[in-house]
A and B are shown apart, each in its own frame.
Chain A
Amino acid sequence: MKAARRLLRLGHGALLALLAAYSLFPIYLMTIESLKPVEEDVFGSPVYVRHPSLEWYADLFEPRGWISHGALVTPTVPFLVWAKNTAIVFAAALAVILATSLAAGYALGRLRPPGWRWWRRVLFATFLVPQTLLFIPLYQLVFRLHLDDNLLALVLTYPLLAIPFCAWLFSAYFQKLSPEVEESAYIEGASRLSAFLRIVLPMSWPVVVAAGLFALGVISSDFMLAGVFLPNTWHQTIAVGLATMDVSLEDLTVVSGISMGGLPMLLIAGLFAASYVRGLTAAMIEGA
């Protein structure tokens, strides 16, 4: 019996190790690649690096147009500009998504206007609109609003990708959250708004984190809209900027750019991962 249990634990551990290795392997490969000097990129091994250096990372922040690495001369990229653009777009889109989804979720889950279930389902159903060709009419729309080559075009269109699920999540949560939570505040004469801001919102932050991380995941995987709306190099986001590079031996610039750009997101994810899970549980099952 004891031996069987030990075997079981060993199997569990082995599977976990496998899971971790599988999850991290692509990130590991990319990181290794980004640390390679030119010679190793051409002649080295794909799975380890002998002489790691941060030269390619340093190049990302290089203001000069061209940089030489021994015999190899490569163009630099305006990485700081891209990073700034990405930060602006993501922060603004995230704020819009969270504010509107929170309001919609509260309306549907708490106030329940007639047909609230259908509102929720129709919102959710917009996920189905095939995005393949959507960028053509969306570009026409953006162009007519004079937002082409403007970061605002993304702030306007990204919410579309995340609101359906975020609003669903919030409404499911508010539906399950006991009304007693606010009642004492109402008895003391608080308005709906102040009860929401002072009592409901502070206790709901895991759900806000869950919706926020989901939204970040969705908008940070976009690629098409950013590429179509922002043709100018100086107005691009990191992903699109790096994606337009297609010349061999710029690969090290690209890979170090990916690692650098991924780092903040990994930090955010690591910091909020536990709350993300708690928020999903609260919204789908428990309430609070």
Chain B
Amino acid sequence: MSHAVMAAANATIEHPSGRRGLARRRREVRTAYLLLAPAALLVFGVLAYPVGWEVWTSLTSSFVGGSAAAFVGLRNYAEFVRDAEFWRAAANTLGYLVLTTVLKLALGIAVALLLSRPFPGRPVAFIAAFLPWAYPGGLGLVGWYWFMIPPLHNAYSEFMSDLRYATDALLGQETWRFLTLVAFNVWRGGSFVGIFLLAALNGIPQDLFDYAALEVRSGWRKFWMVTVPLLRPFLALAAFLSIVTAVTDLGHVYLQSGMRITYPIVWTQAFHLAIIGGEWGKAAAESLILLPVLVLILFVCFWLFEPLEEDPL
């Protein structure tokens, strides 16, 4: 049954037909729109101009300090498709998103399972697992910068530099900074996913796990055939939120490092094009170019976490 039909069915169940019922429903709908308005205004109203600007700019030859921007259609996008540098950045971006998401989900499941059953000292372990996410990310970022890219000789800088040169020698230029970026995101995000999944585990009736466990004996198979399917909608929601924060963190970390991370990733490349190169048109196109992929991910996630949006039985 489609959502619209279900909503209509709900409406008729709650409000039997009849003139008074209809008038009441109309009032309710009006109230609903009134209540929705401030949130919608703060989100869509504030986003409308920036998004419109970005889409429009991506279709022009806008250049800081250049003459009036001309409309160039999809040329900016087309140029990226032929650009080998862009494809390298796109591959890195995919790698970054997959790597951080897989690590965060794995870590999150582990944390949630470790904390799900009562044991002495659980509150303490729980708080410890919660803190990486609770620690203000903006401040943590400044700390990350001073530790991972130490500015001068101090107690830890030599050790960190050694680590960096060793990593870069082993895995290629700039890998260290990329990995620290991953570490920063995983440390924060893994904690978020863990606590999020713990909340899910707390809500799933233990019986469901027990019944399923009767069917499946071995621990590893039990994990894949019972735990993961039961957690699937929550995993999807967590994965989506974690991808969003991974993208945001990327921008922040890049900015805080004084744009010193030269490991090319699509959005940092766009940032570089805009701020250093002044090529706003191309930069806007590059920042939007992955949108279809993100929308695809969103739809898969919507489909996976649909059970969370269902009415209770």
Contacts and interface: CB of A to CB of B under 8 A. Distances in A.
Interface of A: 12, 15-16, 19-20, 23-24, 26-27, 29-30, 33, 36, 40-46, 96, 99-101, 103-104, 106-108, 111-121, 123, 125-134, 136-138, 140-141, 156-157, 159-160, 163-165, 167, 172, 175-176, 179, 192, 213, 217, 220-224, 226-227, 237-240, 242-243, 246-249, 251, 254-255, 258, 261-262, 265-266, 268-270, 273-274, 276-278, 280-282, 284-287
Most buried by B among A29, A114, A136, A269: A136
Interface string B120-150: 0101111111111111111111110111000
Nearest to A44: B155
Contacts of B222: none
Which applies to chain A's interface (DSSP): helix, strand, loop or mixed? helix
Nearest to B158: A46
A259 to B, nearest CB: 9
A201 to B, nearest CB: 14
- Size category of the B interface is 35 or more
A115 B4 CA distance: 7
A123 B151 contact: no
Contacts of A281: 199-200, 202-203
Q: Which of A128, A164, A280, A284 has the most CB of B within 10 A?
A: A284
Chain B interface SS verdict (over half): helix
Interface of B: 3-4, 7, 10-11, 14, 28-29, 31-36, 38-40, 42-44, 46-47, 49-51, 53-54, 110-111, 114, 119, 121, 123-143, 145-147, 151-156, 159, 187-188, 191-192, 195-196, 198-200, 202-204, 234, 237, 240-241, 244-245, 247-249, 251-252, 255-256, 258, 267-268, 270-271, 274, 280, 283-284, 287-288, 290-291, 294-295, 298, 302, 308-309, 311-312
A23 B202 contact: no
Of B154, B258, B309, chain A has the most CB atoms within 10 Å of the CB of B154
B252 A269 contact: no
B184 to A, nearest CB: 9
Find the residue from B11, B43, B146 having the highest chain A CB count within 10 A: B43
Contacts of A24: 128, 131
A276 B195 contact: yes
Nearest to A36: B155
Contact of A284 (B44, B129, B199, B256): B199
B271 A129 contact: no
B50 A138 contact: yes
Contact of B271 (A96, A103, A133): A133
Contacts of B34: 107
